[in-house]
Amino acid sequence: MMTTFKKTIGAIALAGVSIVAVAAGVQAAEKRPTELAPLGEPPAPPDNPTTPEKVELGKLLFFDPRLSGNSAMPCSACHLPELGWDFPDKISLGYPGTTHWRNSPTIVNTAYYGNYFWTGVSKSLEAEARTAARGGVAGNGEDDMMEARLAFIPEYRKRFNEVFGTEYPSIRDAYMAIAAFERSLVQRDTPFDKYMLGDDKALTKQQKRGMELFTGKAECSTCHNGALVTDQKYYNLGVPGYDGWETDELAQITFRFELLAKGSTEEKYRKWKDDPGLYFVTKEKADLGKFRVPSLRYTKYTAPYMHNGMLETLEDVVEFYNQGGGTNEFSKNKTKLLKPLGLSKKEKADLVAFVESFTGERLLMETPELPEYAPLPAVTN
């Protein structure tokens, strides 16, 4: 009996657990998944350091419709704060007279991405702001026109001078300010983050069961890993093509416009009925139908899901993966990582509950009061 007791005490000591703690009924901290991590401080590039004044200027510009072709399409038109900082429809809002052709991702936590848009065409938030403001079915703006408008706004001349040291606003600096503002939209206090930082009670029992599925049977962490919960790689999952292209004439026109603008042969222009995705960037057939893995953070408020919004709820997303993905025009490129999972109804509910733990309270923001135009000061000799 005494020998058995000594072996037990020795095993506890080797495990790094205090004998006093065991005697007091205190349990060791729960084991955290190594595939995932809490978010750290958001990065800021050396050529665009973050300052409070720059963020405040970027906030004004983010909500200002004058940074668009028709002075009516601000960044916030497609990234609505009260609706997840994205657009609540399958396809994002398009420039007046057009429609968009892809789902609008949230900009919450985009500070941590290494590339932007569904196919990674922009490599920084500064480039993303410029691409969105000038996109034919997005802001449709021209740099010189937008810059001229800023010059006629005294408040902007003052703020740009204070932040960038220029006499008149530069459109390049405007994109820098918008990027700085977007980097400030960070959420690091989710139940998941609190749990990963040591709070065992931050997740419910259901969410902990879901976490085990996420990193185990469901194999979600194969692609959704790290602090941002994405490997930022590109896959074809077999997501069905956008159904609006079957019935919406304007959506059909936009789709053909994008095929032509991004470089398609006449044969492909006439034949393709689905979004070629990463192919537009690489022109490699192996990349047809591939899109970047998005972060799962803040997704509780960003329905619908996938690059074309074809999955309406998080429950639909889990069921999609449970079935081993889907099929589309480019399914021969579908990733071999997907296979039927055989999840029960209870397991699927547990998984959804865990995914929701990557989201905290809504990040809300009122539209700021925008500065007014005024005549330029007279030139004096």
8 in any annotated domain: no
Residues 195-232 have pLDDT tens digits of 999 999 999 999 999 999 999 999 999 999 999 999 99
pLDDT of residue 377: 83
Instruction: Say yes or no: 179 and 225 in one domain.
Output: no
Residues 29-48 have pLDDT tens digits of 799 999 999 999 999 999 99
Q: Binding site, residues?
A: 75, 78-79, 220, 223-224
305 in any annotated domain: yes
Q: Domain span at residue 268? A: 191-356
Instruction: Say yes or no: 225 and 344 in one domain.
Output: yes
Q: Transcribe 331-366 into DSSP letters.
A: GGG--TT-------HHHHHHHHHHHHTT--S----P
pLDDT of residue 269: 86
Instruction: Say yes or no: 57 and 172 in one domain.
Output: yes
Instruction: Say yes or no: 200 and 173 in one domain.
Output: no
pLDDT of residue 220: 98
**Average model confidence (pLDDT) across the chain:** 92
Mean pLDDT, rounded, for 104-118: 97
CB 58 within 8 A of CB 44: no
pLDDT above 90 covers a percentage of the chain that reads: 88
Instruction: Say yes or no: 146 and 209 in one domain.
Output: no
232 in any annotated domain: yes
Number of folded domains that form the chain: 2
- Amino acid identity of residue 252, one-letter, is Q
CB 69 within 8 A of CB 62: no
Instruction: Say yes or no: 263 and 196 in one domain.
Output: yes
Instruction: Say yes or no: 319 and 241 in one domain.
Output: yes
Q: Binding site for heme c, residues?
A: 75, 78-79, 220, 223-224
Confidence bin at 27 (pLDDT 50/70/90): low
CATH code for position 169: 1.10.760.10
Instruction: Say yes or no: 275 and 319 in one domain.
Output: yes
Mean pLDDT, rounded, for 86-113: 96
Instruction: Say yes or no: 154 and 199 in one domain.
Output: no
